[in-house]
């Protein structure tokens, strides 16, 4: 799984020149950066134009991200700088639900105003160089996913009590290992804090900043350690000069030490109140919603699989030797006279796909009926048997074993897209399965008060 990292950098110039005339550090002493991670166990997010998100992290979710923040990131900082820089991370679990995100329709981020009381209580001025918040952005019931970048950062600012601030979106527990690409997110975002801070003090950074790796031949996938090491150590070649952080940065004060004398937040930052969401979710969880509102336009073509030509569905399988992965079945159906049958005698990932037209920045419901026979996830660590999915990653609940016709839903936000691929699926990436699944009466409708 490749995680796309996008960051927003704000350098307010708050600290420029604040170290003038102060003593330089001992070049032999390690530099220690102190950081705080606030783990939001519960999400109860309501913010238009998005649908509500109700989610809860498991104890495993919490433990793996805690280990990543406190141990794995410390390991990489120490390793990449040969002990010159140390990471001192503290993770705290908050049982106060995250109730708001920003209302930007393209990206649902979480800033200090969304958890203002915790910023004041847990991260007083001058205690931390960076504050991180980790929250689950995927609804546990419907798979509805808030649009996001994996990590978003701002440089040191008064709203974060003069620390840098970052929000990180939830990722599956299996991805948080010491050497994974996912784990680099905390170091990446911390470097954005330092980029804003040290850049304001005159430290020469590479063209393109932290995101200038590609033009220099560095790659994120497997190669991020080399880039971050050179960025941290100030050994990136730019003409005849070496640029990056390095000793030029380490001889400065840390972010927490450079807080202006007598600094205070000034105007009290109040928590954002939940905004009115586009609609409630509960009404979509039963078939009555679509059945009762027959004027809702189904965006799928041949969602009942009555057309023997099977257009415009397309098939993808993991196994090239699966001779009969799919068929129109006229012996088993919920309504009408046919259904879609997906079958795997040996472990496979079978996808029946259709691309549909959607409106940007709107909410959609993909729903239908699934029947299963002896469905089993065969791949170690896999979690998905028969289910509905969207190409952007949203998934319905998974059915395994034997089930009579069962109604399932998955919801999604179109963001800036005008086309979306929806999928009837047996198996998944890293979750190949066996058995038989039937799909019938599939529908995609626009929701959120628009009919």
CB 163 within 8 A of CB 118: no
Give the pLDDT confidence score for residue 277 in this predicted structure. 58
Give the pLDDT confidence score for residue 219 in this predicted structure. 67
Same-domain pairing of 107 and 239: yes
- Domain that residue 431 falls in: 282-447
Identify the CATH number of the domain in which residue 124 sits: 3.40.390
Same-domain pairing of 232 and 286: no
Q: Using the predicted structure, report yes or no on whether residue 13 has a pLDDT greater than 50.
A: no
Same-domain pairing of 367 and 416: yes
pLDDT, tens digit, 9 for 90 and up, residues 149-202: 899 999 999 999 999 999 999 999 999 999 998 999 999 999 999 999 999 999
Give the pLDDT confidence score for residue 199 in this predicted structure. 94
pLDDT, tens digit, 9 for 90 and up, residues 337-351: 999 999 999 999 999
Residue 430 within any structural domain of the chain: yes
Give the pLDDT confidence score for residue 222 in this predicted structure. 56
Give the pLDDT confidence score for residue 102 in this predicted structure. 85
Residue 46 within any structural domain of the chain: yes
Tokens, residue 42: 């519960």
Number of domains forming the structure of the chain: 2
Long-range CB pairs of 58-63, under 8 A, 24+ apart, other chains included = 58/173, 60/173, 61/136, 61/170, 61/173, 62/93
Average pLDDT for the chain: 88
Residue 262 within any structural domain of the chain: no
Task: Indicate the residue among 250, 269, 302 that finishes a domain.
Answer: 250
Task: Indicate the residue among 205, 226, 250 that finishes a domain.
Answer: 250
Same-domain pairing of 128 and 233: yes
Mean pLDDT value across residues 295-300: 84
Mean pLDDT value across residues 21-28: 52
CB within 8 Å of 26: residues ≥ 6 apart: none
Same-domain pairing of 182 and 290: no
Same-domain pairing of 194 and 79: yes
CA neighbours within 13 Å on the CB side: how many for 231?
28
Identify the CATH number of the domain in which residue 425 sits: 2.60.120.260
**Stronger pLDDT, 279 or 52, i.e. the higher one:** 52
Same-domain pairing of 51 and 199: yes
Residue 49 within any structural domain of the chain: yes
Percentage with pLDDT > 70 across the chain: 88
Residue 258 within any structural domain of the chain: no
Residue 39 within any structural domain of the chain: yes
Same-domain pairing of 192 and 321: no
Same-domain pairing of 328 and 179: no
Q: Using the predicted structure, report yes or no on whether residue 105 has a pLDDT greater than 50.
A: yes
Same-domain pairing of 336 and 403: yes
pLDDT, tens digit, 9 for 90 and up, residues 233-253: 999 998 889 999 999 999 999
Mean pLDDT value across residues 69-92: 97
CB 65 within 8 A of CB 176: yes
Task: Indicate the residue among 192, 226, 250 that finishes a domain.
Answer: 250
Same-domain pairing of 125 and 236: yes
Give the pLDDT confidence score for residue 270 in this predicted structure. 57
Residue 20 within any structural domain of the chain: no
**Confidence tier at 334 by pLDDT (50, 70, 90):** very high
Q: Using the predicted structure, report yes or no on whether residue 8 has a pLDDT greater than 80.
A: no
Tokens 């729903």, located at residue:
367
Full-model pTM: 0.88
Residue 244 within any structural domain of the chain: yes
Same-domain pairing of 246 and 286: no
């Amino acid at each position: 799984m490749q995680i796309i990292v996008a960051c927003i950098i704000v350098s307010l110039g708050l600290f420029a020149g604040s170290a003038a005339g102060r003593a330089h550090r001992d070049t032999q002493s390690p530099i220690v950066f102190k950081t705080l991670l606030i783990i939001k166990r519960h999400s109860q997010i309501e913010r238009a134009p998005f649908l509500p998100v109700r989610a809860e992290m498991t104890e495993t979710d919490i433990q793996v991200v805690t280990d990543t923040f406190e141990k794995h990131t410390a390991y990489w900082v120490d390793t990449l700088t040969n002990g010159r820089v140390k990471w001192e991370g503290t993770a705290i679990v908050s049982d106060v639900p995250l109730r708001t995100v920003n209302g930007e329709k393209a990206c649902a981020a979480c800033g200090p105003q969304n958890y203002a009381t915790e910023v004041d209580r847990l991260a007083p001025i001058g205690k931390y160089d960076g504050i991180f918040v980790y929250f689950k952005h995927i609804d546990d019931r419907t798979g509805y996913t808030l649009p996001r970048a994996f990590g978003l950062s701002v440089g040191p600012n008064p709203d974060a009590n003069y620390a840098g601030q970052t929000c990180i979106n939830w990722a599956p527990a299996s991805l948080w290992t010491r050497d994974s690409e996912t784990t680099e997110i905390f170091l990446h975002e911390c470097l954005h804090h330092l980029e804003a801070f040290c850049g304001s003090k005159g430290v020469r950074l590479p063209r393109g900043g932290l995101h200038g790796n590609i033009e220099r031949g560095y790659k994120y996938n497997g190669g991020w350690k080399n880039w971050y090491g050179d960025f941290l150590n100030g050994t990136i070649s730019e003409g005849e000069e070496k640029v990056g952080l390095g000793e030029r940065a380490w001889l400065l004060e840390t972010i927490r030490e450079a807080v202006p004398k007598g600094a205070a937040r000034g105007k009290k930052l109040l928590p954002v109140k939940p905004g009115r969401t586009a609609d409630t979710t509960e009404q979509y969880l039963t078939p009555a919603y679509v059945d009762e509102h027959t004027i809702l336009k189904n965006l799928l073509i041949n969602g009942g699989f009555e057309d023997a030509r099977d257009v415009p569905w397309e098939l993808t399988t993991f196994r090239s030797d699966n001779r009969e992965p799919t068929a129109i079945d006229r012996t088993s159906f919920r309504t009408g006279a046919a259904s879609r049958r997906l079958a795997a005698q040996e472990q496979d990932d079978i996808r029946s796909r259709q691309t549909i037209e959607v409106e940007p920045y709107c909410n959609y419901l993909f729903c239908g009926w699934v029947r299963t026979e002896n469905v089993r996830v065969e791949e170690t660590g896999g979690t998905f048997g028969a289910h509905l999915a969207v190409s952007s990653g949203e998934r319905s609940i998974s059915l395994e074993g034997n089930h009579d016709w069962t109604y399932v839903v998955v919801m999604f936000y179109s963001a800036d897209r005008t086309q979306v691929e929806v999928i009837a699926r047996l198996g998944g990436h890293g979750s190949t399965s066996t058995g038989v699944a039937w799909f019938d009466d599939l529908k995609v409708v626009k929701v959120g008060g628009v009919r």
